[in-house]
Structure 1
Amino acid sequence: MVAMNIRCVPENNKRDYLQLLLLADEQEDMIDRYLARGTMYALDIEGETVGVCVVTDEGGRVLEIKNLAVDPAYQRRGLGRELIEFIARNAKGSYDELQVGTGDSPLTVPFYEACGFVRHHRIENFFIDNYDHPIVEAGVLLKDMVYLRRCL
């Protein structure tokens, strides 16, 4: 059994994980919009940080996943789901819903749906209006931000 640990990252150390954060959000100034106000968690395996998650309180008892990233060498092993379940367990009682906004991608939307999220709403042209370059994932040009929610 591999030793896994999820821990809260201190405020002054969040930017140490920028390379991982950029896997999920490839524009640094967009990360800066939520990093300072978010709570960041790191998933360590045998002392090495291989995943991160940033969540923010959006008011109305809604907690939002702003960034969820796992090192490519460790993907498809359930670690992203482990981070989500950790967040959900710890948010229960303080929040009613966990939400995530993502591109309408054939990679990310099915992942979140498999983790119990359902489509809630979308913001048209979010990626076009907020990013300085086209964002393409799995061959799809991302335009709209799709929000998914899960009851806690």
Structure 2
Amino acid sequence: MEIIKLHDDNKRKYIDLLLLADEQESMIDKYLEHGEMFVLNENGVKAECVVTNEADGIYELKNIAVMPDSQRKGYGKRLIDYVFSHYADCNTLFVGTGDVPSTLGFYHKCGFTESHRIKNFFTDNYDHLIFEDGKQLVDMVYLKRER
């Protein structure tokens, strides 16, 4: 297994994988340029994530996606653990997601706890309704992992 930090000119080649986690390209464009992208490769790309530096000691996981045929095999957790250790100055790693039990359960297993919510984030910022596991996403749930 190898985790590689990509150079800016290579990030867009993973747009299909990015769209698995954030299905509106204009929203991805808001963080992709200033975020750092990591790709987990194990006999082919299995997962990616984009991380932004939000403030001194505070980072945000803006996008994390695992190839559909590689999900539930630990790749997402490995990538999160790598990122958390990669940024030695990271005291808090935030992630925002929809209010879906399976997704929240994944982040809890990765050491995150609920931080706060942004009401109507998905309905106010996306040009279409978004559904995950049959549930419409409305509020953004922010979770945090602290060192």
Q: TM-score range by the shorter chain?
A: over 0.9
Q: How does 1:109-124 map to 2 (within 5 A)?
A: 109-124=104-119
Using the aligned pairs only, state the percent identity. Answer: 50
Q: Give the alignment partner of residue 55 of structure 2, picking from 59, 65, 72.
A: 59
Q: CA RMSD in A?
A: 0.7
Q: Does the alignment pair 1:127 with 2:122?
A: yes
Q: Matched residues in 2 for 1:147 and 1:57: separation?
A: 16
Structure 2: gaps (5+ residues): none
Alpha-carbon shift at residue 60 of structure 1 (Å): 3.7
Q: Give the alignment partner of residue 5 of structure 1, picking from 2, 12, 21.
A: 2
Alpha-carbon shift at residue 91 of structure 1 (Å): 1.6
Q: How does 1:36-75 map to 2 (within 5 A)?
A: 36-46=33-43, 48-75=44-71
Q: What TM-score, normalized by structure 2, do the two folds share?
A: 0.98
Q: Secondary structure at the match of 2:90?
A: coil
Q: What TM-score, normalized by structure 1, do the two folds share?
A: 0.95
Q: Matched residues in 2 for 1:88 and 1:26: separation?
A: 25
Q: Matched residues in 2 for 1:100 and 1:139: separation?
A: 21
Task: Point out 4+ residue stretches in structure 1 off by more than 6 angstroms.
Answer: none
State the number of aligned residues: 147
Q: Matched residues in 2 for 1:78 and 1:66: separation?
A: 19
The one-letter amino acid paired with 2:63 is N
Q: Matched residues in 2 for 1:60 and 1:110: separation?
A: 28
